[in-house]
Structure 1
Amino acid sequence: MANDKDDTKKKSTPPKKAAAPKKAPAPKQAPAPKKAPAPKKATKAQPTLQPLAEGEVLITGFPGFLSTRLVRELLGRQPLARFNFLVLAGLRTTAERNLAALESELPEFRGRWSVYTGDITDRYLGLSEATYAELATRVAVVWHLAALYDLAVAEEVAYRVNVSGTVHVLDFCQACSNFRRLNYVSTCYVSGERTGTIYEDELDEGQSHKNHYESTKFWAEVEVQRRRDRIPTVIVRPGITVGDSRTGETNKYDGPYYFFKALEHLPSWVPMVNIGRGNATGNLVPIDFVVRAMGHIGLADEVAGQVFQLADPNPMRARDFVALTLACMHRAPAVASVPEGLVRRLLSSSKVENFVGMPREALDYFNHEARYDSRNTQRALRETNIRCPHLSSYLQTLIDYFQSHPQSQLSA
């Protein structure tokens, strides 16, 4: 808007006073003798901060598929660092077996890891107070991946793990005497039911959420962002993570794999349809891209305080995903579109849901018209060769792996 003009009249200025006569300069005085410098006070020695890549590491969420892949990535980036793993009691044997296998594969990893039986839902992470305090003197970098990922989870259980657990990890970070970085793994879906473009610097926009997984991950990130002024933090928000774009390897069949399952269960003569208009874009990212991006961003300098959405910058429309999947699985093209509400009513029957192999909660992500901006991520990766491949370039790889590896053969 243009500024309003100033129509007020100019005030007259008072007449200038006659200048006072100049005073004679004061006689110069002899300079005072210099005082002897005061002795320097003894200063308390400050801890020497290690380079970020050399700092001792604590990882939660191991031996999950994402954390296991991340460890491989970090070993290449942190050849001198020691790794500590906070592991649930029931997963300790698996964790130690996986680490021993990794140690035999990568001899440079030998003797550089420790496993601690613990639980983030406990105030002291399930550790003794002495162990907690001792770890706090050594750990410089925390990767917090532990979370309960279940679209149908009860609210109380999800809150205890995803929110209270994250608060306890934040408390540990603040207790560390030589702390450098918290790398917190959130999710794009803290955006809940928002539509349109979702930006990386947005969190609380008054949105509702589709399930308790989303809402508790939202509240967990609220807590993380609230303490960013006291804890140097990087937040990454992956999209729906699928298998490796080069090999198809994964350890779970959810997200788009539900559609693959449905096609395998339905006879070939059953005509396929699009669900709804199919104009919404998906947010699928392969795990190899996710771990490489996390490894680079999580150890980069001058990114603390920022949020990075690990999303496909060129996502496919739902109807294009359906068409390409049908072609990859040698099925006839879709013949029509049916309202999403009709499909949802059909899946409300547990018999239909079990037969098709697609839970009705998965529909919430199939036609959700949200697009995730990833400019921070693109900027952080600009000088690297880390790029999110287009889904069309690796969808066949995902399907081939799915068809040759039944659910029962997947690793835990």
Structure 2
Amino acid sequence: MEHVYFFTGFPGFICNQLIRELLKRDDYFTKAYMLVLPSQKETAAYEITKIKQEMQGTIAEFVIVEGDITKEGLKIPQEMNDHFRSEVTHVFHLAAIYDLAIDEKTAQLVNVSGTNNVNDWVRGLDNLERYVYFSTAYVAGIREGKLYEQELVEPVGFKNHYEKTKYEAEVLVEEMKKEKPVTIIRPGIVKGHSATGETIKFDGPYFILNFLDRLSFLPIFPKIGRETGCVVNMVPVDYIIQATSYLALYKEGAGKTYHLTDPNPHTATEIYELFVNELYKRKPKGTLPLTVSRGLLTIKPVRSYLGIEKEALDYFTWQGVFDCTQAQTDLKGSGIVCPRFSDGVPAMVDFYLKNKKDQRYQIQIR
């Protein structure tokens, strides 16, 4: 049977890489529709050209569909929706606001209302084989301890509006499991490619690289806060792409939620030390109290100079551990394993150093 894909979140990096991987993995991939905002149509067309060039010999057809997940019916003309009803077999919903510092209104509009609109649209598909939703492992909010894939427990609080709205959106998609074959993907903190270091923006762990780079004039690099043993779960984008494409086509993956997280994560202190050593071939000395660090990052000129969002600090002190047994079990035999974070640090830092002055990679600090 032919597989006809529909994607939101194109031409975003994870989405365009996922399409490439699915083309390699799925022999039945015949067509892909990409829902794109009108303002991104030109960029999307360019990315499709690149995909065709890289995937020489593919017979798959690529079609840009102008629309908007924040609008009812995704703002797709009804005559097109009538056609999609019988044609689309696989839907990947990746479009979202991922900024940790985003305001609540915007996050609600895109992450929650947008997902609700996509769900309603998916309900109208007659031949759907899989609906894959990109969530985040951090729907756990401020819950700590061991966190399991089969859980979707509302925490007493969240670290930011991004987490809160992604939780609310996942609740909506979880309900869809009663109606459609749904697979929910919960990645950890996504970093660049494990071998090349390639990424599209310097956020998450790259904030620490910004911090260290912009304070390179200091004679020493103090640790931030005392050692607490908390781990920071970072996963390379290539693992996310490979695992998602496999699980999306895995028959038993329907109805499941997967933590695509590192089964052997490093502590925050270990990560910091790895960065300092890779950048400057030395070890951190002394300690900068966490209260001082938080205080400094409340001052916008300071965090703008350091290139770090104040919300990022929460992830280096949070005491949660993600259990990924279900993902590891279902990936067994596929040859897909999560690379060790430490093994990818040299490539990660090298890519950062080569591109740190390119403002296309640096995000706007709020």
TM-score, normalised on structure 2? 0.95
Matched with 1:84 is 33
Q: 1:266 aligns with which of 215, 238, 253?
A: 215
Q: Secondary structure at the match of 1:86?
A: strand
For 1:302, give the aligned amino acid.
E
Q: Does 1:319 align with 2:248?
A: no
Equivalenced residues, count: 360
Q: Does 1:73 align with 2:24?
A: no
Matched with 1:199 is 148
Matched with 2:355 is 405
Distance 1:344 1:95, change over 3 A: same
Sequence identity percentage: 36
Most deviating of 169-178 and 400-409: 400-409
Q: Secondary structure at the match of 2:180?
A: coil
Matched with 1:243 is 192
Q: Does 1:282 align with 2:267?
A: no
Structure 2 residue ranges without an equivalent (≥5): none
2-structure distance, mates of 1:66, 1:256: 17
2-structure distance, mates of 1:57, 1:347: 43
Q: Secondary structure at the match of 1:125?
A: helix
2-structure distance, mates of 1:146, 1:125: 12
1-structure distance, mates of 2:22, 2:46: 19
Aligned 8 A contact 2:111 2:166 in 1? yes
Aligned 8 A contact 1:326 1:333 in 2? yes
Q: Does 1:374 align with 2:324?
A: yes
Give the 5 Å matches for 1:13-412: 50=1, 54-81=2-29, 82-110=31-59, 112-278=61-227, 279-408=229-358, 410=360
Cα deviation for residue 102 of structure 1 reads: 1.4
Distance 1:407 1:133, change over 3 A: farther
Structure 1 residue ranges without an equivalent (≥5): 1-49
Aligned 8 A contact 1:136 1:172 in 2? no
For 1:176, give the aligned amino acid.
L
1-structure distance, mates of 2:303, 2:222: 17
Cα deviation for residue 195 of structure 1 reads: 0.9
Aligned 8 A contact 1:193 1:207 in 2? yes
Aligned 8 A contact 2:20 2:55 in 1? no
Aligned 8 A contact 2:142 2:155 in 1? no
Cα deviation for residue 168 of structure 1 reads: 1.2
Cα deviation for residue 111 of structure 1 reads: 5.4
2-structure distance, mates of 1:241, 1:371: 16
Q: Deviations over 1:247-298 (max 9, x none)?
A: 0011000111111111111134342122222321011000011100001011
* More contact order relative to length (CA 8 Å, sep ≥ 6): 2
Q: Deviations over 1:293-330 (max 9, x none)?
A: 00101110022111100100000111111111111001
Aligned 8 A contact 1:200 1:373 in 2? yes
Q: Secondary structure at the match of 2:280?
A: coil
Aligned 8 A contact 1:268 1:331 in 2? no
Aligned 8 A contact 1:141 1:180 in 2? yes
For 1:404, give the aligned amino acid.
K
Q: Deviations over 1:377-407 (max 9, x none)?
A: 1001111111111111111110001001235
2-structure distance, mates of 1:140, 1:174: 12
Cα deviation for residue 339 of structure 1 reads: 2.7
